[in-house]
């Protein structure tokens, strides 16, 4: 993806310090200290670090993003430790089952995945859309017939095109699955693909960062909701995160975090759903 200078708020795990015995969680409670300090709960977030504005690498080389900021604010509210792990998106289920991560918080669509995860209540409204190269002559879905459309592997856009909009996908010349959206948009710019199907926020970021290169088609593929995904049955943790998110909305913290990413197309009033 093209890069711009944006405000960067970093949340990053200190797991290596814990292993070295420098974290309070790995040490016994000091004399006279409450024993609870030795058993702080840890939220281990799996995220894609090439998925702005939700999780990405900033210009300073450090991880940042709206969902990482929200995760940090939730952990601060709950008194938890936060660890953020950049993952191969295609491996997220295996990592969850292994216990390497205990949640997925990364612009994660809940529709169609309700039987695979226990979700928090949804906090963001999103759409799946299609972006084409400016001047391509593609003004609507009819123009995609016989064309090469790319999307990220195991993405919500892919699921929509393989289910509810399979009739549309059948008109494409091909539907390519690419490892990340950075690569997808690089291929769109170079002409290797004709369109990219992605989340609205990704499209808004790309079209605002590259106004002379890309344009978004008017009609969305679908509307959906983002939520935090936990291992199936992890209801207690999901409920605690939901409650913390509601409190962040009530005191204005969630709005302030969303406003940090306004240049990426995030609109608190239009996108936030949890109150």
| CA 94/CA 108 separation, integer angstroms | 16
What pLDDT does residue 39 have?
65
In a domain? residue 3? no
* 180 three-class SS: coil
| CA 154/CA 142 separation, integer angstroms | 25
Considering the domain architecture, whether residues 162 and 93 belong to the same structural domain is answered as no
Considering the domain architecture, whether residues 101 and 231 belong to the same structural domain is answered as yes
pLDDT for 78-125, tens place per residue? Answer: 999 999 999 999 999 999 999 999 999 999 999 989 999 999 999 999
Determine how β-strand 63-64 pairs with β-strand 124-133: unpaired
Alpha helical stretches, state H, 99-215:
156-162, 166-169, 181-190, 200-209
- Average pLDDT estimate for 258-267: 89
In a domain? residue 214? yes
In a domain? residue 53? yes
Alpha helical stretches, state H, the chain:
15-19, 66-78, 92-98, 156-162, 166-169, 181-190, 200-209, 235-250, 253-260, 268-271
Considering the domain architecture, whether residues 75 and 145 belong to the same structural domain is answered as no
Considering the domain architecture, whether residues 173 and 45 belong to the same structural domain is answered as no
Residue 254 near residue 246, CB atoms below 8 Å: no
Closest CA to 118 of 226, 224, 238, 225: 238
Considering the domain architecture, whether residues 237 and 260 belong to the same structural domain is answered as yes
What pLDDT does residue 263 have?
83
Residue for token digits 């909009």?
Answer: 165
In a domain? residue 183? yes
Average pLDDT, the chain: 87
- Average pLDDT estimate for 58-78: 96
CA 123 to the chain's CA centroid: 12
Domain count within the chain: 2
Confidence of residue 23 (pLDDT cuts 50, 70, 90): very low
Considering the domain architecture, whether residues 148 and 21 belong to the same structural domain is answered as no
Q: Which of 205, 223, 241 is the last residue of a domain?
A: 223
- End-to-end, the C-alpha distance of the chain in Å comes to 33
* Helix/strand number for the chain, H first, E second: 10, 14
Longest CA–CA span in the chain (Å) reads 72
| CA 217/CA 147 separation, integer angstroms | 15
Determine how β-strand 174-178 pairs with β-strand 148-152: parallel
Lowest mean pLDDT among 11-15, 74-78, 211-215: 11-15
Considering the domain architecture, whether residues 63 and 196 belong to the same structural domain is answered as no
| CA 117/CA 115 separation, integer angstroms | 6
pLDDT for 117-162, tens place per residue? Answer: 999 999 999 999 999 999 999 999 999 999 999 999 989 999 999 9
In a domain? residue 102? yes
pLDDT at 31 over 50: no
Q: Any idea what the CATH number is for the domain that residue 80 is in?
A: 3.40.190.10
| CA 27/CA 104 separation, integer angstroms | 28
In a domain? residue 70? yes
What pLDDT does residue 133 have?
97
Residue for token digits 């084409």?
Answer: 132
- Average pLDDT estimate for 206-222: 94
In a domain? residue 111? yes
- Residue 49 belongs to what domain range? 15-26+40-123+227-271
Confidence of residue 201 (pLDDT cuts 50, 70, 90): confident
Confidence of residue 232 (pLDDT cuts 50, 70, 90): very high
pLDDT at 12 over 70: no
Q: In this prediction, what percent of the chain has a pLDDT beyond 70?
A: 86
What pLDDT does residue 1 have?
38
Q: Which of 223, 240, 256 is the last residue of a domain?
A: 223
């Amino acid at each position: 993806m093209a890069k711009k200078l944006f405000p960067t708020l970093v949340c990053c795990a200190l797991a290596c310090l814990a292993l070295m015995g420098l974290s309070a969680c790995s040490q016994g409670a000091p004399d006279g200290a409450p024993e609870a300090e030795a058993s702080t709960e840890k939220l281990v977030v799996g995220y894609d670090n090439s998925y702005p504005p939700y999780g990405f690498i900033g210009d300073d080389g450090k991880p940042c993003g709206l969902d990482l900021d929200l995760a940090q604010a939730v952990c601060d509210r709950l008194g938890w430790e936060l660890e953020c792990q950049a993952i191969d998106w295609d491996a997220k289920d295996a990592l969850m089952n292994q216990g390497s991560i205990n949640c997925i918080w990364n612009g994660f669509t809940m529709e169609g995945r309700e039987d695979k995860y226990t979700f928090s209540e949804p906090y963001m409204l999103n759409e799946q859309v299609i972006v084409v190269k400016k001047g391509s002559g593609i003004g609507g879905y009819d123009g995609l017939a016989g064309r090469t459309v790319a999307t990220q592997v195991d993405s919500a856009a892919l699921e929509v095109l393989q289910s509810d909009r399979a009739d549309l996908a059948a008109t494409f010349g091909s539907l390519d699955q690419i490892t990340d959206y950075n690569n997808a948009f690089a291929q769109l710019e170079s002409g290797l693909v004709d369109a990219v199907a992605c989340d609205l926020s990704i499209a808004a970021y790309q079209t605002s960062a590259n106004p002379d290169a890309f344009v978004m088609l008017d009609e969305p593929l679908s509307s959906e909701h983002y939520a935090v995904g936990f291992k199936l049955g992890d209801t207690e943790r999901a409920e605690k995160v939901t409650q913390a998110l509601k409190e962040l909305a009530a005191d204005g913290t969630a709005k302030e975090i969303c406003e940090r990413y306004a240049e990426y197309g995030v609109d608190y009033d239009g996108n936030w759903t949890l109150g």
